[in-house]
Structure 1
């Protein structure tokens, strides 16, 4: 609500738009030049930390198996329940331009080492890749919560 000043000058706004202090003056944020600028990705290390915290919030645990490029690395998430039946999820671009986590590989019960070998091959092909392993009690719920 504007307040009147003693000198009869224009009312002074109390919301910071017209602050007496130069450091406190509101400055407008620049708008993105293109719509694609609004879909900027989070740095990979922040997203990896968020996935670990999400697993812990769901009562499970998670760890980084392979640490990739800090800002733009691809993130793979291995999700399992009580250390069994691992599934690999990876972000894939969709037709509408969004990027959602999609299951790309499941662990074979009869040959569990094949899954581990696959992760090793992926890591050797792309050193920028992050591999996060999450062990949660309800994998379907965890997948639904992935950003």
Structure 2
């Protein structure tokens, strides 16, 4: 029995809509491969302290989001440098920015897409 996988474009669109439905802001910073491109998520709380998360596969076939970088020492350009360097190695990469009101909302959005 095969299970249908959601496309990357669908996942990005769903995350955008969920964030906006809760009063947050969402923007696609870079479009990747519509079907299977990896997704980086730049999460911010009230426009500050960007943190990058990436979806990784788990042993049971599910996926979960893991923090891969954050603004260090107040340098909020560090996450941008990270995803721009990743694009050079992975041209199929999606980059989605979510700006929400609280860490709890961001965690909820990430959990909804796991």
TM over 0.5, shorter chain: yes
**Aligned ranges 1:117-128 → 2 under 5 Å:** 117-128=81-92
Structure 1 stretches of at least 4 aligned residues deviating more than 6 Å after TM superposition? none
Q: Using the TM superposition, give the Cα deviation of residue 145 of structure 1 relative to its aligned residue in structure 2, in angstroms.
A: 3.1
The match for 1:88 is 52
What value does the CA root-mean-square deviation take over the aligned residues? 1.4
Matched, 1:67 2:67: no
Q: 2:76 and 2:59 mapped to 1: Cα distance?
A: 33
Residues 1:136 and 2:107 are matched in the alignment: no
TM-score, with structure 1 as normaliser: 0.70
Q: Is 1:115 equivalent to 2:86 in the alignment?
A: no
Larger Rg, first or second structure (1 or 2): 1
- Asked if 2 retains the 8 angstrom alpha-carbon contact of 1:75 and 1:132, the reply is yes
Alpha-carbon distance between aligned partners in 2 of 1:145 and 1:82, rounded to the nearest angstrom: 15
Segments of 5+ residues of structure 2 without an aligned counterpart are none
The structure with the largest strand share of the pair is 2
